[in-house]
Amino acid sequence: MPVFIDGHVHIYPDFSLDQFLEAASVNFSRAAGMDRIAGEIQYVLALTESEGFNVFDELKQKAVAPDETGDGGGSAFSFSFHCTAEQESLIARKGDVCMILVSGRQIISREKLELLSLCSSFTVKDRTLSLADLAETVAASGGLPVIPWGAGKWFGGRGRTVECLLQSDHEYPLFLGDSGNRPGFWPDGALFAEAADLCIPVLSGSDPLPLPFHVNRPGSFGTFIPYGLLSMDRPAASLLQLLCDEKGITGFGRRIGSFRFIFEQLRINIRR
**Which structural domain, as residue segments, surrounds residue 95?**
3-271
Handedness of CA 205, 121, 119, 68 (dihedral sign): negative
111-140 confidence digits (pLDDT tens): 999 999 999 989 999 999 999 999 999 999
d(CA 170, CA 166): 8
Domain count, the chain: 1
User: How many CA atoms does the CB half-sphere of 212 hold within 13 Å?
Assistant: 0
Q: pLDDT tens-digit profile of 164-179? A: 999 999 999 999 999 9
For the whole model, what pTM was predicted? Answer: 0.94
Would you say 89 and 66 are in contact if contact means Cβ atoms under 8 Å apart? Answer: no
**Could you report the per-residue pLDDT of 77-113, keeping only the tens digit for each?**
589 999 999 999 999 999 999 999 999 999 999 999 9
Query: For residue 1, how many other CB atoms are within 10 A of its CB?
Result: 12
Q: Which amino acid is at 184?
A: G
Reported confidence tier of residue 272, pLDDT bands at 50, 70, 90: low
**CATH number for the domain including 263?**
3.20.20.140
